[in-house]
Chains A and B, each alone.
Chain A
Amino acid sequence: DVKVTQSSRYLVKRTGEKVFLECVQDMDHENMFWYRQDPGLGLRLIYFSYDVKMKEKGDIPEGYSVSREKKERFSLILESASTNQTSMYLCASSLGSSSGNTIYFGEGSWLTVV
């Protein structure tokens, strides 16, 4: 069965802390994504990776970076957390052979920055 696992479901961090959100998929997918979801704004793409060590900025990359050292793992990094980064973060993956593949999501990580 398809699985995207986000290691932390709930985190509380202080302003200025460095935060790592980890995501692992077990489907050998080429594409991995990080979204954030906020009320009234929907899902917005932060970063996208189409292969190991490859990344592409999404719509709202400011304040974030990513790392993909292995195919199955895609990490989102908040270099210096701020209160406006309080949100639900969703990781997803899909096959990369062509457009139009089903995308699979993790359960989400709720981040509160105080």
Chain B
Amino acid sequence: KQEVTQIPAALSVPEGENLVLNCSFTDSAIYNLQWFRQDPGKGLTSLLLIQSSQREQTSGRLNASLDKSSGRSTLYIAASQPGDSATYLCAGSNFGNEKLTFGTGTRLTIIP
């Protein structure tokens, strides 16, 4: 069964810095990995989806990478802004399985 881990649970970074959020998974048969953002008391918003045939995806200041051999995905945020403060979750699924397994998230705070 796929297990997904996100460390650290919380991270504080000064505004303007570039930062990397980490996601580890146990099953290298992962088919896709998604990154989500969650604001307090709200639902999840999909940020990026990487399929196993891809190594990375980019959207604006966000770049997500996937390394199946090492069991890792990273979310890179460039030039961080206070509005980036939120909890970021990653989730993976294996081929033929529509169900995602979620990490517990990293709570990011950007300090003005």
B-contacting residues of A (Cβ < 8 Å)?
A: 4, 31, 33, 35, 40-43, 45, 48, 50, 58, 90, 92, 94, 96, 99-108, 110
Determine the chain B residues whose CB is within 8 A of the CB of A104 once the complex forms: 46
Contact A99 B98 (CB under 8 A): yes
CB distance from B45 to the nearest CB of A (A): 7
Contact size class for B? 20 to 34
B residues near A42, Cβ cutoff 8 Å? 89, 102-105
B104 and chain A: residue at smallest CB distance: A42
26 contacts across the A-B interface (CB closer than 8 A): A31-B98, A35-B102, A41-B104, A42-B89, A42-B103, A43-B102, A45-B99, A50-B98, A58-B99, A90-B43, A99-B95, A99-B97, A99-B98, A100-B32, A100-B49, A100-B93, A101-B98, A102-B34, A102-B46, A103-B46, A103-B91, A105-B44, A105-B46, A107-B42, A108-B42, A110-B41
Chain A at the B interface: SS class: strand
CA distance A22 to B17 in the complex (A): 41
Cα distance, A40 to B107, chains bound together (Å): 12
Number of A-B contacts (CB under 8 A): 61
**CB distance A99 to B103 under 8 Å?**
no
Q: Which residues of the other chain, B, contact A105 by a CB distance below 8 angstroms? A: 36, 43-46
Q: Which residues of A contact B96 (CB under 8 A)?
A: 99
- A-B pairs with lowest CB-CB distance, top 4: A100-B32, A42-B104, A105-B43, A43-B102
Inter-chain CA distance A101–B98, complex, in Å, is 8
**Do A48 and B46 touch across chains, with their CB atoms under 8 A apart?**
no
Q: Collect the chain B residues with CB atoms within 8 Å of residue A45's CB.
A: 99-100
Shortest A24–chain B CB gap in Å is: 14
Query: For A31, A35, A103, which residue has the most chain B Cβ atoms within 10 angstroms?
Result: A103
